[in-house]
Amino acid sequence: MQYQRGRRRGARWISHIPIVRAFGPLDQPPRGSVQLKFEELEALRLVDLEGMDQEQAAVTMGISRKSLWLDLKRARGKVTEALVTGMIIQVEGGTYMVRGNQASGPERMRMPGRVRGPPAEQRFPEQR
């Protein structure tokens, strides 16, 4: 079992799962691959394609502006590395939730509540 340091990564809202999930060089054999997470692609789409500023994109994804900036930095680094060195870009994985079309307005942006377990005294009765 592998342990991680720090806080658990919070889920990000994305608009949809992309249909095309792999990109690569056509004129030569690829020199490896880079994994681009779904939320990193969404950050690129909102800021670079849709033209949102980072504050708007962060609100749309349900994260802080700094978290969006970190996702953008990682995504741009991976895409640049793949383009310069001739690697395949695979879009997969991550911590995300796909936004549904059923709600609108502020309700659409709300993340689902976290489920809380039983109180500590019920989980660890022997420690009384």
Fold of the domain spanning 12-100? Arc Repressor Mutant, subunit A (1.10.10)
Angle between helices 65-85 and 54-61 (to 10 degrees): 100
Q: Higher pLDDT residue, 127 or 11?
A: 11
Share of the chain above pLDDT 70, in %: 75
pTM of the model: 0.73
The ranges assigned to domains in the chain are 12-100
Mean pLDDT of 27-47: 96
Biggest alpha carbon distance in the chain?
69
pLDDT tens for each residue of 63-111: 999 999 999 999 999 999 999 999 999 999 998 999 875 433 433 444 4
